[in-house]
Amino acid sequence: MIVLDASVLIAHLEVTDAHHQRATEVLLATAGEALGASPITLAEVFVGPARAGQLDRAAAAIEDLQVEAVPLGADAPARLAALRAETGLRMPDCCVLYAAQTANAALATFDDRLAAAATHHNLTVHTRHR
């Protein structure tokens, strides 16, 4: 499985996003792999479409990609707090890192700090350079 960061999903869904082509390249390069995301990541992805009255369209696109929600376990509060304290990442990024660790998965992101933290935690990071 490859856990997707909001940066990849938002760019994929929005053709005018500056990273849309990069997102397409990442998704094509990982074709055949199961895709996952934290429920917090999915909520973050859906904010813009919800504001624009396009939540159903965005949810259908995520479903078409077959992105599975990686559930937050009972240990999530303590593990997320520890990740935040250790890495200094924002909580949504900690949720991505937590989901990848929980699913024993690789991670796809355009966020350099998140990629570095994932590498530090021995996770494979998929990204396409600018």
- Global confidence as pTM: 0.93
Ordered by start, the domain boundaries in the chain are 2-126
Answer left, alpha or beta for residue 96, where phi above 0 means left and psi between -120 and 50 means alpha.
alpha
Q: How far is the C-alpha of 74 from the C-alpha of 80, rounded, in Å?
A: 11
3-state secondary structure string across 51-113: HCCCHHHHHHHHHHCCEEECCCCCCHHHHHHHHHHHHCCCHHHHHHHHHHHHCCCEEECCCHH
Kindly report, residue by residue over 43-55, the tens digit of the pLDDT. Answer: 999 999 999 999 9
2-126 CATH fold: Rossmann fold (3.40.50)
Segment 70-106, tens digit of pLDDT = 999 999 999 999 999 999 999 999 999 999 999 999 9
What tokens were used for 112? 């350099």
Average per-residue pLDDT for the chain: 94
Q: pLDDT-based confidence at 29, cuts 50/70/90?
A: confident
